[in-house]
Amino acid sequence: MKLGMLTACLPDQTLEQIAAWAARAGYEALEVAAWPAVGDREFTASHLDVVSLDQARADDTRALLERHGLGSAPSSLAYYDNNLHPDPDERARVNAHVAACIDAAALLGTETVGTFIGRHPGRTVAENLRDAEEIFAPLVDRAGERGVKLIVENCVMEGWHPDGYPGNLAYSPELWEWMFSLGLYLNFDPSHLVWMGIDPVEALAPYVDRIPHAQAKDIQLFPDRRNSYGWPGIAVGRESDPFTTGWWRYRVPGLGDVDWRRVVDTLYAGGFTGVLSVEHEDPVWGGTEDKVHTGLEVAYRTLRPLIVA
């Protein structure tokens, strides 16, 4: 197992700047943000232009990572968007960019591409699952032909649903089993399970062999506030920030409620040999690059003692 980080938390820095800092901080790998270079979607970061990537640029990227001791390729390419977007044109663009990420991963020698299932909020879960089966079949085939695994993060993406219900149909072990039947894999993140009421360690243990890559994000719960809102969170005035439930917030590992000793031990017990990649979305240690760096340092100090050097 290696300890890495997702570059999306530093959207204004270049990949070279991030690589240099990550190496100094002790990280061993980079999960590289690969959203389209232009766009106004939330969480957008672009540290690799996958659309224009050719073999020469891929070789330059590999050389950059090797120069900083961050492996011979990104641990994964990250493009987390709604593959079931209700607008058909936007859906087609998202699906096409996932395909471009798969092609780029093959050029780089990167084993995985991360994305979301997503959801059309105007259709039932059953209808969405049938749509996803059609959409992902050619993407899974494309990935397999190029020696790449398509991995899905179990983020709930409640802000994508107008009423705060799950906007990414990958939030539970029941849905993981459905994903696996399509040839998809899991990019495991324990934080999302905690607020869903699922024990992340119990959920993780049976599926480690379907997890080629994992993310490390923590979560801090405020159960007294949940007594006011219930599980779905704030209902009145939520339009201003659909991702704020009011009773929990993401933290960097070590500052929340995830038991990282048990998570890492369970990964080891299941034979996990991939990268555990820190995903920094902590509002306390966010807002400036210096604070983001501090948050990443806290995460490193928390996780490094748990991972065999």
At the top level of CATH, the class of 2-306 is alpha beta
pLDDT, one tens digit for every residue, the chain (309 residues): 999 999 999 999 999 999 999 999 999 999 999 999 865 555 579 999 999 999 999 999 999 999 999 999 999 999 999 999 999 999 999 999 999 999 999 999 999 999 999 999 999 999 999 999 999 999 999 999 999 999 999 999 999 998 889 999 999 999 999 999 999 999 999 999 999 999 999 999 999 999 999 999 999 999 999 999 998 899 898 877 888 899 999 999 999 999 999 999 999 999 999 999 999 999 999 999 999 999 999 999 999 999 987
* Cβ density class 94-107: b for 16+ within 10 Å, e for less: bbebbbbbbbbbbb
Phi-psi region of 60 (alpha: psi -120 to 50; beta: other; left: phi over 0): alpha
Tokens of 26: 């002790």
The model carries a pTM of: 0.96
Where along the chain do its domains lie? 2-306
pLDDT at residue 231, as a whole number: 87
pLDDT at residue 237, as a whole number: 83
pLDDT at residue 40, as a whole number: 54
> What torsion do the CA atoms of 81, 87, 92, 97 make, to the nearest 10 degrees?
-20
**Distance (Å, whole) CA 222 – CA 75:** 33
Q: Between 55-67 and 15-25, two packed helices, what is the crossing angle to 10 degrees?
A: 30
Phi-psi region of 30 (alpha: psi -120 to 50; beta: other; left: phi over 0): beta
pLDDT at residue 140, as a whole number: 98
pLDDT at residue 41, as a whole number: 54
Q: How many CB atoms lie within 10 A of CB 48?
A: 26
Which helix (H) or strand (E) segment is 277 a member of?
strand 275-278
pLDDT at residue 240, as a whole number: 78
pLDDT at residue 54, as a whole number: 98
Question: Which DSSP state fits 270?
Answer: T
**Distance (Å, whole) CA 288 – CA 11:** 11
pLDDT at residue 43, as a whole number: 54
**Distance (Å, whole) CA 219 – CA 30:** 22
pLDDT at residue 39, as a whole number: 57
Under 8 Å between Cβ of 43 and 54: no
Half-sphere exposure in the Cβ direction for 228 (13 Å, CA): 10
Cβ partners under 8 Å of residue 64, min gap 6: 15, 16, 19
Half-sphere exposure in the Cβ direction for 276 (13 Å, CA): 26
Cβ partners under 8 Å of residue 188, min gap 6: 154, 204, 207, 211, 214, 215
- In 3D space, the residue among 54, 73, 97, 81 whose CA is nearest the CA of residue 4 turns out to be 73
pLDDT at residue 44, as a whole number: 76
The secondary structure of the chain in percent helix, strand, coil, rounded to multiples of 5, reads: 45, 15, 40
